[in-house]
Amino acid sequence: MDKLRTRFAPSPTGRMHVGNLRTALYAYLITKHENGDFILRIEDTDQERYVEGAVDIIYRTMEKTGLIHDEGPDKDKGYGPYVQSDRQKSGIYLEYAKKLIEKGEAYYCFCDKERLATLNRVEGGKEINVYDKHCLSLSKEEVEANLAKGMPYVIRQNNPNTGTTTFHDEIYGDITVDNSELDDMILIKSDGFPTYNFANVVDDHLMKITHVVRGNEYLSSSPKYNRLYEAFGWEVPVYVHCPLITDENHTKLSKRCGHSSYEDLIDQGFLTEAVVNFVALLGWSPENNQEIMSLDELIANFDYRHMSKSPAVFDYTKLKWMNGEYLKAMDEDKFYEMALPYLKEVITKDYDLKKISNMVKTRIEIFPDIKDHIDFFESVPEYSIEMYTHKKMKTDAQISLTVLKELLPVLKDFDAASYNNDALYQLLVDFAQTHELKNGTVLWPIRTALSGKQMTPCGATEILEVLGKDESLARIEAAIAKLESES
């Protein structure tokens, strides 16, 4: 059997949509599972939609996500060029289109916009336009004359309007349509560029693509592609159409929702690995039901026969959970390195950031979450003394005031050199015991006094340690003053 070859063929129109990313990923996984070749082809046949810099985004995204292509514009293995506008320059599309014309499978069309507009009709609020094969009846001489005059033209596929066409998709099975549904789509545009519909067939064949992996939106035009393959006498590739990814409202993921592209997600603080992992599970699941998988594990486990047919909702909440799992599994140093910019954003004082980084590691899902966890280290926020009331800790503002006042001298006398978590914890627990108090009755007021927050990423004694003796005492004194004046 020939080596399996797939391609990812994006259009350079902007950021990498997560639907495209997933298509690329599936193509990559299908290929690499079988040790095949993964080809990158740039489909820039639409001059209007071309966006400067978009090709770089494609390269960068592929690189970062680890979807490394074996062939592409930068790695020609003999099937190049891999950019359609470059291929177009050599005239291959026109050349192949002419072959079709000779076989009677395509024809020149000189209809202008005005005539085409007369063909428009509105059905169910939608404007539809089915070409009437007007130019098919042109004689060879008329065509030659028009061409000689330099009349603008397109080349259309000549589809029959009787009979049926059937094609096979690995996911959706056999699909049959009436040929009367197949309109004479344009193969070559009047600017000389091929349409996607034509270029993808020609290129996939020339590049010996064995498995065509693409979005479900191409399912309904596939019969027309099949007719093209057959007209050329080419072997039809294996089709794998991927289900759609939708937003919470079950409609196509759009820019409006703010997380429609890979870059959006990265900007929001997600890890590439988590995004790739998550997206892989949108429309597929492994037999062993494993959820957290590296790219290599995905390759090993991937079986496109287990892909689902129905669209999947992009669940932002689950992505966040998964990102959190990756964060928890990350080694401390790497986490610290990545968290550092976020830590420095809120903390300017000379605290042990590595320690704070570790505190936060199991409590966040994405890096921007860090801020709300640690802002109190910088300064105590405004808070209500009601916060000192906690039933389970058997404390309220009154008790807290008493405890803090008694504790202040004890902490003052405590050796600054042993101002660390373990020693302080021992000190406070002993204090609680000698005063016949619950541990919480002592620790809760301190934590509140130090942080002004209902919850913190660590306990009271750890905060003492990080803040240091001077700052800690100052905060406790401030808390005492606050309690005295407000209660």
Partner RNA sequence: GGCUCGUUGGUCAAGCGGUCAAGACGCUGCCCUCUCACGGCAGAAUCAGCGGUUCGAUUCCGCUACGAGCUGCCA
In the complex with RNA, which residue's Cβ is closer, 126 or 485? 126
Sheet holding 154-157, edge to edge: 106-109, 154-157, 186-188
Q: Minimum distance between the CB of residue 1 and RNA, rounded to whole angstroms?
A: 22
Contact indicator for 281, 11 with CB cutoff of 8 Å: no
We find the least distance from the C-beta atom of residue 46 to RNA, in angstroms, to be 4
Cβ proximity to RNA: between 122 and 233 the closer is 122
Which of 35, 137, 317, 434 is in the footprint of RNA by CB under 7 A? 317
- Comparing CA positions, the residue from 261, 193, 183 lying closest to residue 227 is 183
Which residue from 3, 49, 344, 349 is in contact with RNA, where contact means CB under 7 A?
Answer: 49
C-alpha–C-alpha distance, residues 408 and 9, integer Å: 68
Nearest-approach distance from CB 80 to RNA, in angstroms: 18
Is residue 93 within 8 A of residue 199, CB to CB? The reply is yes
Residue numbers 450-469 binding RNA by CB under 7 A: 454-462
Determine contact, residues 356/300, Cβ cutoff 8 Å: no
Per CB under 7 A, the segment of 24-32, 139-147, 186-194, 268-276 that binds RNA is 186-194
Binder among 79, 108, 225, 284 for RNA (CB under 7 A): 284
Question: Which H or E run includes 329?
Answer: helix 316-329
Contact call for residue 282 and RNA (CB under 7 A): yes
Which one of the listed residues 75, 255, 344, 349 is annotated catalytic? 255
Please report whether residue 435 would count as binding RNA according to CB under 7 A. Answer: no
Q: What is the C-alpha separation between 438 and 431, in angstroms, rounded?
A: 10
Q: Is 255 a catalytic residue?
A: yes
* Contact (Cβ atoms closer than 8 angstroms) between residue 100 and residue 197: no
Contacts of 84 (CB under 8 A, 6+ apart): 41, 42, 43, 44, 45, 194, 199, 203
The Cβ of residue 88 has, within 10 Å, a number of other Cβ atoms equal to: 20
Build a one-symbol-per-residue string for 190-219: x at contacts with RNA by CB under 7 A, - elsewhere: xx-x-xxx------------------xxxx
Specify whether the CB–CB gap between 256 and 5 falls below 8 A: no
Q: Tell me if 377 sits within 8 A of 347, measured CB to CB.
A: yes
Query: Considering only residues 243-262, where is the footprint of RNA by CB under 7 A?
Result: 243-244, 246, 250-252
Beta bridge partners of 166: 176
Q: How far apart are CA 363 and CA 370, in angstroms?
A: 8
| Interface pick for RNA out of 308, 384, 418, 420 (rule CB under 7 A) | 308
Question: Per rule CB under 7 A, is residue 418 in the interface with RNA?
Answer: no
User: In whole angstroms, how close is the CB of 273 to RNA at the nearest point?
Assistant: 16
Which residue among 220, 294, 384, 420 contacts RNA (CB under 7 A)?
220
Among 327, 425, 449, 466, binds RNA (CB under 7 A): 425
Q: Which of 4, 9, 201, 366 binds RNA (CB under 7 A)?
A: 9
Q: Which amino acid is at 451?
A: S
* Interface mask toward RNA for 125-144; x: CB under 7 A: xxxxxx--------------
- Number of residues engaging RNA in binding (CB under 7 A): 89
Burial (Cβ within 10 Å: 0-12, 13-18, ≥19) of residue 345:
middle
Q: Which is nearer to RNA, 11 or 31 (CB)?
A: 11
Beta-sheet pairing, 238-242 with 211-215: parallel
Q: Contact, 416 vs 426, CB < 8 A?
A: no
Choose, by CB under 7 A, the member of 68, 81, 172, 471 that binds RNA: 172
Just list the catalytic residues: 255
